[in-house]
Structure 1
Amino acid sequence: MTDAGGTRRGERTRTRLLDAAECLFAEKGFHGVTVRAIARQADSDPALVAYYFGGKRELFDAVLLRRAEELNTIRLAELEACEANAGPDGPTLEAIIHAFTHPLLDRSANGGPGWKSYFALVGQVTNSPEWGVAIMSKYFDPIVRHFLDAVRRALPDAPEEELFWSYHFLSGALVLTFADTGRVDALSGGLCKSSDLEAVTERMPEFLAAGFQRLAQRQSNKKQEAETVS
């Protein structure tokens, strides 16, 4: 019983440290946070960061991994369901994009402050030359490649270059959405709100699908134009 109680206390302490680190890293970035500050917010001893994680960098990785595993499992399930439930022609491009983006937008909107902090942190990492390639590749490339495979089946004639540029723009749209800057609020005079993730979810797949399709046709359109001129 004592061992079980100690294990439960250890799990609670570890979770508090992860929650505190997630919040502080999202607010101030990796370099703006000290181990002591994390421990203080978690009402814990700084030495326990080393005990449970090894150091600040390892704690940072643990913060990213904790929700990435859950998120990628859900995204994969939605993508597989999207394809399994489609008709003989396969899912539409909009449906594929919705399956890929919906789990993120849904948890940002409804998952509580921890998910908000997590996506703010992912936005920072994605935009950082220091962290972007290594961390995003480590945690998210497998699910991105699964998504791109689904897109290839929907757009079989699309040049590879255009698919990767299209994904690049999709990623940028997600990061800006998670940043929740209020920029669209000011530009629209309050007509649109960056915090309105329901409105984003309704519009993003349609908007992005049009972009994917347009770039997929880009080379053939240029060829047709050249033939017309000649």
Structure 2
Amino acid sequence: MSKKDNGLKSERILDVAEELFAMHGFDGVTMRQISSGANVDVALASYHFGKKLDVFYAVFNRRAELLGNTRREVLRSSLQAASGEPQTLEQIIEAFLLPLKFAQESGDPGWKNYMALLAYVMTSPVWSKTLMENNFDKHVAEFIKALKVIFPKSKEEDLHWCYHYVSGALALTLAQTGRIDRLSGGKCHSSDFETAYQRMIPFMAAGFRAVCEK
């Protein structure tokens, strides 16, 4: 088997695993399901990645670095684009909500699966500490620093609580549970990231101002 074929099979295994983990979580997926979906032998999937835990890490980390770094770059570029003018709260929130834009603008359907997986990890006490700490948490200080410029008189704990609320809203939206579809009688769709993105920015900005401008 050529290196190219090996690479394609590895990506197919990760794509299938990403979709299954996003839908069923870590405990609800087996290596046999992953290999069957990728149309490869279980032995080949194990050869490429090892145990199911290794596959889970590989799936999560595959897009995490790109997403985390791009999010930080967007935050910094909006600061530079201000040309001496203060960076706006809305610009900071836009950078934080980058996952929604990634999912809606990318031609890769795997991004929506990854966003649901990200929501699963964000809301898990176990996986959040293991995976979020190593991939995303290290960038949070930069967002808090930017928020301090907007709200210089705010208590730091207020900024962190607001950031926490924003993270929760983002996680629920990324999870695409379909609940808003049912509650709204079909008027809203959990897969409609574009509409969610547009509404979340003013909603979150109002929340920050209500708490942090006291």
Whether these two folds match at TM > 0.5 is yes
Deviation at 1:118, TM superposition (A): 0.6
The answer (yes or no) to whether the contact 1:23–1:117 under 8 Å persists in 2 is yes
- The answer for the alignment partner of 2:205 in structure 1 is 209
**Structure 1 position 70 matched with structure 2 position 66:** yes
2:151–2:213 Cα contact (<8 Å) kept: no
Instruction: Give distance in 2, aligned partners of 1:33 and 1:16.
Output: 16
Instruction: Decide whether aligned partners of structure 1 residues 35 and 76 sit closer, same or farther in structure 2, where only a CA change above 3 A counts.
Output: same
Q: Distance in 2 between matches of 1:167 and 1:61?
A: 26
In structure 2, C-alpha distance between the alignment counterparts of 1:93 and 1:133, rounded to whole Å: 28
TM-score (norm: length of structure 1): 0.85
2:81 equivalent in structure 1:
85
Matched, 1:161 2:157: yes
Larger Rg: 1
- Aligned counterparts, 1:34-113, within 5 A: 34-101=30-97, 103-111=98-106, 112-113=108-109
- After superposition, the C-alpha distances for 1:67-91 in whole angstroms (9 at most, x for unaligned) are 1111122212211111000142321
Work out which structure has the larger RCO, using CA pairs closer than 8 Å and 6 or more positions apart in sequence. 2
How far has the Cα of 1:126 moved from its partner? 1.4
Query: Aligned-pair distance for 1:137?
Result: 1.1
Contact kept in structure 1, 2:117 and 2:175, CA below 8 Å: no
Runs of 4 or more consecutive aligned structure 1 residues displaced over 6 Å after TM superposition: none
Q: 1:32 aligns with which of 16, 19, 28?
A: 28
Report SS of the residue matched to 1:130: helix
User: Is residue 49–residue 56 contact of structure 1 (8 Å, CA) maintained in 2?
Assistant: no
CA RMSD for the aligned pairs?
Answer: 1.8
Query: Structure 2-normalised TM-score?
Result: 0.91
CA distance in structure 1 between the aligned counterparts of 2:122 and 2:197, rounded to whole angstroms: 21
Aligned length: 213
The unaligned stretches of length 5 or more in structure 2 are none
Q: Percent identity?
A: 44
Q: Could you tell me whether the CA contact under 8 Å between 2:16 and 2:34 is conserved in 1?
A: yes
CA distance, structure 2, for counterparts of residue 212 and residue 134 of structure 1: 28
Mark the runs of 5 or more structure 1 residues left unpaired by the alignment.
219-230
